[in-house]
Structure 1
């Protein structure tokens, strides 16, 4: 019987192994081949999920933490050496891994930045092995947090100024996913979270009500409400739908204005909210807020508000933290440039529907006279483009050179940039496609690289 319990939370001591095996075998292969040259990789999303015309960038802080702290411990090295696939790998490689620390460069868009298909969210320039090993972790943290931040932004858009709170920790794909989702949803515009660890570690405002089990644990619903109110006073939000929502609203009203809120979790939320509002107002409880929850998403919230629901805030769980309608973001991390013989050579991929543009790139955003977004131009990083450059230096030679924005600043950036994105691109259904162009020099570089590849292939024929 195994005695050791495994929590399965990545730590500084094991996070270097939170990667795909082929990253490690490629690293060993590069080492054997003497491939010590620098390379440049970019992380971007080729195609946006359905009904999305934009993304809210999130996850950079965790990406930076990984690059700054990931290392191969003695235990990790011993485990790798035990694998049959590494049987013929030279011992020097494992010594190299033991000493390995990231000493490259990172450029990225700040968290909360609105980005579009094809635009780099970050760029890693480092020795080839270091850049390659970072792929899996960077994709995991950027893909997931960007996905959830974008979903949160859509839900907040649908709520039209009413508060939205992340209620999704219990439905997230694991405890760490719940924590990351709380962070990302806050960047996307949520007012807070029910996740206590997110509140403690990240300073996100925390909110909570009560469960049906609280009400059911008492013989009388009124007794349950009063017992909660006696402890939590003005922080009390009562759950009304354990038995009869309307009758429970009357019981809540009898407790007076110290009840700060009530929650509706089932039934016809629009109709019930109006009835509950009348009951509360009749008791002089105009300031008591009505919170709705129960498998909500942006479309259901928009529908409730069209039906004149008397709801002040929404708790959104499953649909938010799993982004149920678009549960994965297809971010990719591709080699775009590589040192060969002391000079940088562009690299590109040619697979059908997976073509890439070569070279280190920058994104320039062009706005109109009122500051609204008009179009983006993806250009070579060496170009001086019109508009504002989105990617900024974050790490140089392994050292952090720019302070990362606070979580509140990232949230404010997202809110401000969404306000500047015209409404046709923010529509919940059939949003317009935001114009993203490639610069003339970038297109010319791609054509030249394609020509050289074709000539090389022709030269290989017998």
Structure 2
């Protein structure tokens, strides 16, 4: 056991598995159960405060699957558990995923019972991937689904991620920014993630800098000198007094350039209105007003509906922790084994057997009209959403677009959502239809397993 466990390294991801998956893999191996299994990743119901889930991570996880390999050190650590046969550990030592993956495009709005991805391969191989795949897709999908609501609420005003300090771990802080790109955020304060995922990086000052200076104006003058066009944080002591002093300063020194002010507390609507009036009357109409401080989509929507003169929003806790709906009940279920349909029929957790496809049909105005969840070989009108990204354990060349291209496609997919799904209020219409074939397959499969 390590006294100070490091950040999980990508090379150690084969051990990021729940014990029961290794135990089942050994059971499959020992019993000679090496036929192909098909597993489907989906959710049965939407969280209460979501009208759809913005699916993210389901294609990118293929890169992790492709490179998974147990090292000699991994095998030694597993051997120390005293649960695994030497020959099974030899099998793990030679493990490389040899199957295929079908996945929907990242940034696709999805609904209950629609597979985000399907993984096919020797059953023990796929079983080992369960928790890793679910964890990977869950994080980005949850954060993107929260972030896109902020975009809807802001109605065209930019929203910037300030959430790194309150995310649940460094991995979430980093990969969350990737998810925010799909949702349409304008930027992030997270330098590493912004650089890694080609997202604009924004930031000004904290109250501590203002407090550390001998006076508020000293702080403002220092920042304006070092960072021309900067945004000044004006609520450390008294918001309106600070803005009045900034106006006097800028009128005395017209060569000084600031881009905006930021309000981080108090009555944001009232303060923004008064600050806007003061700035406009001073001929400083080009100075923007940014708001932050405990914002979520509902507070932003209220500010927008009240016509508060706020030009952009910084959001921290609400986005970084997805604090109203921090979890999505993803399921990774066996739907076929040895070419026979398989299913679960537990109360409230019934699944549909067989390999699947999802067809998305748009209306004449280019808006989503209906999704059909069908068998893999069925054909319906609309675009088939599940597309192959891996075959025989390798990513298919050209199957996964660049991140920038994926983000553009995600914007088009979001633009195609009807207004009821873009609302912050619950959308009671479910656009998903299950094909007659799948319903019959479910009924027949259940009859067979019941004997």
Q: Which range moves more in the overlay, 354-363 or 139-148?
A: 139-148
- Give the gaps of 5 or more residues in structure 2: none
- Distance in 2 (alpha carbons) for counterparts of 1:259 and 1:172: 31
Residues 346-380 of structure 1: per-residue CA shift (max 9 Å, x gap): 00001000000000000001111121111110000
Tell me whether 1:427 sits opposite 2:435 in the alignment: no
Tell me whether 1:304 sits opposite 2:303 in the alignment: yes
Structure 2 residue aligned with 1:111: 106
Following superposition, the deviation at residue 423 of structure 1 comes to 0.4
Instruction: Give the SS at the match of 1:13.
Output: helix
- Distance in 2 (alpha carbons) for counterparts of 1:65 and 1:198: 18
- The correspondence for 1:25, drawn from 5, 23, 26, is 23
8 Å CA contact 2:261, 2:290 repeated in 1: yes
8 Å CA contact 2:58, 2:116 repeated in 1: no
Over 3 Å off, 4+ runs:
2-5
Q: Which range moves more in the overlay, 396-405 or 46-55?
A: 396-405
Tell me whether 1:416 sits opposite 2:415 in the alignment: no
Residues 151-200 of structure 1: per-residue CA shift (max 9 Å, x gap): 11111000000000111000100111111111111211111111111122
Following superposition, the deviation at residue 206 of structure 1 comes to 0.8
Following superposition, the deviation at residue 114 of structure 1 comes to 1.2
Structure 2 residue aligned with 1:63: 61
Structure 2 residue aligned with 1:136: 131
- Distance in 1 (alpha carbons) for counterparts of 2:59 and 2:447: 39
Instruction: Give the SS at the match of 1:187.
Output: helix
Instruction: Give the SS at the match of 1:14.
Output: helix
Structure 2 residue aligned with 1:77: 75
Following superposition, the deviation at residue 31 of structure 1 comes to 1.3
Instruction: Give the SS at the match of 2:11.
Output: coil
8 Å CA contact 1:110, 1:405 repeated in 2: no
Following superposition, the deviation at residue 3 of structure 1 comes to 9.1
- Distance in 2 (alpha carbons) for counterparts of 1:82 and 1:308: 63
Q: Which range moves more in the overlay, 25-34 or 74-83?
A: 25-34
- Distance in 2 (alpha carbons) for counterparts of 1:181 and 1:283: 40
TM-score (norm 2): 0.96
Instruction: Give the SS at the match of 1:332.
Output: strand
Q: How does 1:176-255 map to 2 (within 5 A)?
A: 176-234=171-229, 236-253=230-247, 254-255=249-250
Structure 2 residue aligned with 1:99: 94
Instruction: Give the SS at the match of 1:369.
Output: coil
Q: Which range moves more in the overlay, 281-290 or 142-151?
A: 281-290
Structure 2 residue aligned with 1:329: 328
Following superposition, the deviation at residue 413 of structure 1 comes to 2.3
Instruction: Give the SS at the match of 2:286.
Output: coil
Following superposition, the deviation at residue 252 of structure 1 comes to 2.8
- Distance in 2 (alpha carbons) for counterparts of 1:154 and 1:407: 21
Q: Which range moves more in the overlay, 185-194 or 247-256?
A: 247-256
Instruction: Give the SS at the match of 1:215.
Output: helix
Following superposition, the deviation at residue 433 of structure 1 comes to 2.4
8 Å CA contact 2:158, 2:185 repeated in 1: yes
Following superposition, the deviation at residue 61 of structure 1 comes to 4.5
Tell me whether 1:407 sits opposite 2:406 in the alignment: no
Instruction: Give the SS at the match of 1:233.
Output: coil
8 Å CA contact 1:252, 1:259 repeated in 2: no
- Distance in 2 (alpha carbons) for counterparts of 1:292 and 1:406: 33
- Give the gaps of 5 or more residues in structure 1: 457-462
- Distance in 1 (alpha carbons) for counterparts of 2:286 and 2:107: 33
Structure 2 residue aligned with 1:460: none
Following superposition, the deviation at residue 414 of structure 1 comes to 2.5
Tell me whether 1:346 sits opposite 2:344 in the alignment: no
- Distance in 2 (alpha carbons) for counterparts of 1:160 and 1:363: 30
Number of residue equivalences: 445
Structure 2 residue aligned with 1:43: 41
8 Å CA contact 2:59, 2:105 repeated in 1: no
8 Å CA contact 1:153, 1:189 repeated in 2: yes
Q: Which range moves more in the overlay, 17-26 or 56-65?
A: 56-65
Could you say if the C-alpha distance between residues 212 and 357 of structure 1 is closer, same or farther in structure 2, counting changes exceeding 3 Å?
same
8 Å CA contact 1:12, 1:71 repeated in 2: no
- Distance in 1 (alpha carbons) for counterparts of 2:204 and 2:370: 43
Residues 76-99 of structure 1: per-residue CA shift (max 9 Å, x gap): 110100013x1xx32111111111
Tell me whether 1:123 sits opposite 2:118 in the alignment: yes
8 Å CA contact 1:107, 1:392 repeated in 2: yes
